[in-house]
A and B are shown apart, each in its own frame.
Chain A
Amino acid sequence: MATLLIAFALLLLTGVAAIALRAQADIAQRIGQAGAVLGSLVGLGAAIAVLCGAKPALLVLNWPMPGGGIHLVVDRLSAYFLLPVFGVSTLTGLYGRSYLSKQGEPANAAGSWFHLNVLTAAMALVVVARDGLLFLLAWEIMALAPFFLVVFEDRREAARQAAWIYLAAAHLGTAFLLVLFVLLGNRAGTSDFAGFAGVLHDDPALSSTVFVLALIGFGSKAGIVPAHVWLPEAHPAAPSHASALMSGAMIKVGVYGLVRMLTLLGAPQAWWGWALLVAGAVSGVLGVLYALAQHDLKRLLAYHSVENIGIIFIGIGVGVLGLAYDLPVLAAFGFAAGLLHVVNHAIFKGLLFLGAGAVQHATHTVELEELGGLLKRMPWTGACFLIGSAAIVGLPPLNGFVSEFLLIYAGYAGLLLPTAAAAAAGLTTLVAMGLIGGLAAACFAKAFGVVFLGTPRSVEAEHAHEAAWPMLAAMAILALLCIVIGFAGPFVIPALAGIVSEASGLPANQIGASLAPLSAALQVATTVFLGMAALAAGLWIIRGWRLARAGVRRAPVWGCGFPRPTARMQYTASSFAQPLVSQFRLLIANREALVAPSGYFPTEASFTSDSGDPFLRLLFVPTFRWFGRLAARLNVIQHGHIHVYVLYVAATLIALLAWVSL
């Protein structure tokens, strides 16, 4: 625990120092960065120590705040979720200063380190807190700190709007958690998590209520449809490394909250599992569909976070169903898949956001239609981004594939079970994963292809430069992790057993037993991939040798006889996605305006597509408008006539007197 406290101290002190010295932006930035990196590394050490079998760290202090206490525990589950938190924050810290060098006002940039480090500390505190009030406090701080990062470019109206949507969503989510913890605290008579388990175990009604509250409260943080609307607004507005931290770590804390609650809720009911499964499937599919429709790189990535959270929820849902139907194998697979994907997503989503940041830093835009041909100009960034894309699509042999393999296999395992319900769950999983996989591939083919391949679509892209070394280093480490975990899958899965057992409440050895055959299978699969890689390498060498003798020329590509293909002739992102988008027009519902060329000598033609979030546009904004109009009606009682004001006083009095006399 001491190490963790040191990490907190480092993060907070340097953060405060950074904001205090914001006048000397450069020094402040150095301090903030140092604190972020060192503090996160220390914290990472603490987490790894616990995961490596050190006994759970514990800290209990008296907190004079009534109805609360300071109770921190770092058990395996917490430590596991500390990995993305501290891991990602280490690298974002490493990345941040070079990135901020040309972004925003220097003072803001310096101050942003405070919010960044506070965010990290708050996330860690949420993950280790075992007291309702402490948890809520940390949760709220964790919600507030990114607010200042989202509003980073505060001169832009869009950023302020995004910040509003973000914090409003976060706070409304917290409202449910407030009810949750107050309810539990009231029943249990204590705000300590240990006390909650007792009252929940033998009260299904209560635990169902708590589950619903948790699903909404934590789901909104994690970004489950329809509570996802803040992600695509907040992530593009924030500095890219902040987006990486939010998307890589913060939304995982939402998942953590849900998992932690599940451990307290006692024997789960089947419909919880179904709720999670359906929520996950819907979020996964809609998330990737909306991503497909985007032409802003960071919005696209944000929607992919929704998708991946969906995948995680599917995993947890399958796990809960496994527990509910008393099918431990299914439970093990589900939880293992979900939890593994938590870390995997943290890795490749962090990588992708950092990559997007590098692109933004180099070209000052993330608008797909203005990019292109960057692979030649920033090869290393391109390579890392390619690996990240392949990983998030779930292609073998990268880490994304491992968790999706687990999950799809869980689906198949469900199929083989006699219970029709389990089979149905399995089928749902498979269909969802199938759709998600295919669509994600399409989406990232578009993203990578349009950004890094072909010819530049704008002058900025034309003159893009490779990112600075710290940024490259951060991305390279993450890319490396994608590959390593991909090949180390067989050894990663057994390591999950202990964490899964804490999450699912099943004995570790039983889980180990049910996971063992899978890791064996993955071992074989890995050898296949190694063979494949070797074959590819061989073929590469051979064809190189042949071509060396046969000779290579360069020529313009075939353009129906048009000799000089220009950037404007290239397939655009929108046109690339158009077939799929129009296929799912019903769900995506993005507004398109087409001015078609007409006549023999067409003059003007234009096509614009607005991919604003349908839920925001068709559900939330109208609701808020309606509420605003409703509230405006109140105006009539405050019309400024003093006589009537006095009459109010009299009327209230008379009403009360009448009420008591009756």
Chain B
Amino acid sequence: MPGLLATIDVVGLLTCFALLGTSRIGACIRFLALQGILFSLVPVIAHDDGLTVRVLLLAGANVALKGMIFPAVLLRLRTRAGFHREVQPYIGFVASILFGIVALAVSLGLARELHPALSHAPFAMLEAAIFLISIGLFLIVSRRNALIQVIGYLVIENGIFVFGAITVVETPLLVELGILLDAFVAVFVMGIAIFHINSEFGMADSDRLNTLRG
């Protein structure tokens, strides 16, 4: 059902741009949640060999994790840490969006490069995966707020998830679950880390964390 994939692709891209454009962290988290849910559906659609229990299980776990648990954790953290907006990122919101456009173009090109090698992978998703990864990196590099950096990391996770789902036909369930578990733990660990940093420094602007040099 390529049409469905295309929709997911477009909406997913828009969430990325939203992440780039907004300064309000709460909004970012929600966009992330939306994005997570969207792309969790990809394996269900992409797998033309019918819906196996395994696929459904995985999709469900993903939706639960990325759609509910992560946002919950992050929002809780936001309120605990008490920051609500990203103030003056390294790269301004407009510039970020411009970057997003460039990144989109680049990932289209890259996807076209890769597609012949990964013939069975739907092109749209390939391009989406690359775009997600690049955007996630960009968020980490361009934002001061540790929370948004976590969000960036999760965007990368989404990208990787999509990429894995469309390229690898069937990976052992064990692996899939392991990966999910890792993402899960990662978010918690980062959450705790941010909590500690916040309680120690009184804020979680990671650009204040530059005492260690040389």
Q: Which residues of A contact B (CB under 8 A)?
A: 635, 638-644, 646-647, 650, 661
Q: Is B211 an interface residue (CB 8 A)?
A: yes
**Residue of A638, A643, A647 touching B206 (CB-CB under 8 A):** A643
The answer to whether A661 touches B113, judged by C-beta atoms less than 8 angstroms apart, is yes
Question: What residues of chain A lie closer than 8 Å to B113, measured between beta carbons?
Answer: 661
**Residue of A641, A642, A646, A661 touching B137 (CB-CB under 8 A):** A646
**Residue of A639, A640, A646 touching B140 (CB-CB under 8 A):** A646
B139-153 Cβ-contact flags toward A at 8 Å (1 or 0): 011110000000000
Kindly list 5 other residue pairs between chains A and B, CB separation below 8 angstroms, not including A643-B141, A643-B207. Answer: A640-B211, A640-B212, A643-B90, A646-B137, A661-B113
Question: What residues of chain B lie closer than 8 Å to A639, measured between beta carbons?
Answer: 210, 213
Q: Is B214 an interface residue (CB 8 A)?
A: yes
The answer to whether B141 touches A635, judged by C-beta atoms less than 8 angstroms apart, is no
CA distance A646 to B138 in the complex (A): 10
The answer to whether B213 touches A640, judged by C-beta atoms less than 8 angstroms apart, is yes
CA distance A643 to B212 in the complex (A): 14
Q: Is B53 an interface residue (CB 8 A)?
A: no
Q: Is B174 an interface residue (CB 8 A)?
A: no
Q: Is B209 an interface residue (CB 8 A)?
A: yes
Q: Top 8 A-B pairs ranked by shortest CB distance?
A: A640-B210, A640-B213, A643-B141, A647-B141, A646-B140, A650-B137, A641-B210, A635-B214
Q: Name the residue of chain A whose CB is nearest to the CB of B152.
A: A646
Number of A-B contacts (CB under 8 A): 32
- 23 sample A-B contacts, Cβ–Cβ < 8 Å, listed by A number: A635-B214, A638-B213, A639-B210, A639-B213, A640-B209, A640-B210, A640-B211, A640-B212, A640-B213, A641-B207, A641-B210, A642-B206, A642-B207, A642-B209, A642-B210, A643-B90, A643-B141, A643-B142, A644-B141, A646-B137, A646-B140, A647-B141, A650-B137
CA distance A643 to B90 in the complex (A): 9
Q: Name the residue of chain B whose CB is nearest to the CB of A632.
A: B214
B113-144 Cβ-contact flags toward A at 8 Å (1 or 0): 10000000000000000000000010011110
CA distance A396 to B101 in the complex (A): 93
Question: What residues of chain B lie closer than 8 Å to A647, measured between beta carbons?
Answer: 141
CA distance A642 to B205 in the complex (A): 11
Question: What residues of chain B lie closer than 8 Å to A650, measured between beta carbons?
Answer: 137, 141
B149-170 Cβ-contact flags toward A at 8 Å (1 or 0): 0000000000000000000000
CA distance A257 to B53 in the complex (A): 76
The answer to whether A638 touches B214, judged by C-beta atoms less than 8 angstroms apart, is yes
CA distance A638 to B214 in the complex (A): 5
The answer to whether B213 touches A643, judged by C-beta atoms less than 8 angstroms apart, is no
CA distance A298 to B143 in the complex (A): 65
Q: Name the residue of chain B whose CB is nearest to the CB of A657.
A: B110
B179-214 Cβ-contact flags toward A at 8 Å (1 or 0): 000000000000000000000000000110111111
Most buried by A among B140, B141, B142, B213: B141
Given the contacts A641-B207, A643-B206, A635 and B213 also touching, CB distance less than 8 Å: yes
Give the distance to chain A from B20, nearest Cβ to Cβ, in Å: 15
CA distance A640 to B209 in the complex (A): 7
CA distance A646 to B137 in the complex (A): 8
Q: Name the residue of chain B whose CB is nearest to the CB of A640.
A: B210
CA distance A647 to B137 in the complex (A): 8
Most buried by A among B90, B137, B206: B137
CA distance A316 to B119 in the complex (A): 74
Q: Name the residue of chain B whose CB is nearest to the CB of A648.
A: B141
Question: What residues of chain B lie closer than 8 Å to A661, measured between beta carbons?
Answer: 113
Most buried by B among A638, A639, A643, A661: A643
Q: Name the residue of chain B whose CB is nearest to the CB of A650.
A: B137
Give the distance to chain A from B122, nearest Cβ to Cβ, in Å: 22
CA distance A661 to B114 in the complex (A): 11
CA distance A638 to B212 in the complex (A): 9
Most buried by A among B113, B209, B211, B214: B214
